[in-house]
Amino acid sequence: MKLHQLSLFLENKPRQLRVPSKVLAAAGVDILTLALADTQQFGILRLIVQDWEKARQVLEQAGCVVNVTEVVAIEVPDRPGGLDQILAVVEEADLNIEYMYSFTFHRGDRAILVIRFEDGDAAIAALQANGINVIESVELFKQAKA
């Protein structure tokens, strides 16, 4: 129901992103999506990958600090008002969003929102009660992407 997201601590300076990217490439880990949050001093790279356990292992071996969090991925129609429809449910259920990122596909008419809720279980219940499609596994995530 919830997906495992890997978060990496990065210092905010040139070439830092290349380290995890190289490690994942060498291990043949498929990155499904990512987002980079930054502050003046440091950044957090958030990743959803095909095999999160393997990814965590190789990243930690390479000396990265990795945190695993559960996030909720939901499918939304890729049209005006798509996001607002979701946020209406979130507001109605009084859910707190820590952060989110989204992306669309090259074909098709859907987008995916990845959201870190303060209370993931409550969020899933509320979203599903309102007929919103919560992506249940990385595999389905991939199919949606294809």
Mask 26-45, x = binds other proteins (CB under 8 A)? -----------x-x-xx-x-
For 80, other C-beta atoms within 10 Å of its C-beta total: 7
Nearest distance from C-beta of residue 20 to other proteins, angstroms: 11
* DSSP SS3 for 82: helix
Nearest distance from C-beta of residue 109 to other proteins, angstroms: 30
Nearest distance from C-beta of residue 143 to other proteins, angstroms: 26
Of 45-84, which residues contact other proteins (CB under 8 A)?
46, 60-61, 63-67, 69
| Integer Cα distance of 19 and 21 in angstroms | 5
As given in the structure block, the two tokens for residue 136 are 């249940």
DSSP alpha helix (H) spans, 2-137:
18-27, 52-61, 82-92, 120-129
Q: Which is nearer to other proteins, 64 or 81 (CB)?
A: 64
Question: Could you say whether residue 9 binds other proteins (CB under 8 A)?
Answer: yes
As given in the structure block, the two tokens for residue 137 are 């596994």
Contact segment (CB under 8 A) with other proteins among 9-17, 24-32, 78-86, 87-95 equals 9-17
Nearest distance from C-beta of residue 92 to other proteins, angstroms: 24
| Integer Cα distance of 143 and 38 in angstroms | 30
* DSSP SS3 for 142: helix
| Integer Cα distance of 81 and 62 in angstroms | 43
* Residues contributing to the site for other proteins (CB under 8 A): 5, 7, 9-11, 16, 37, 39, 41-42, 44, 46, 60-61, 63-67, 69, 98-99, 116
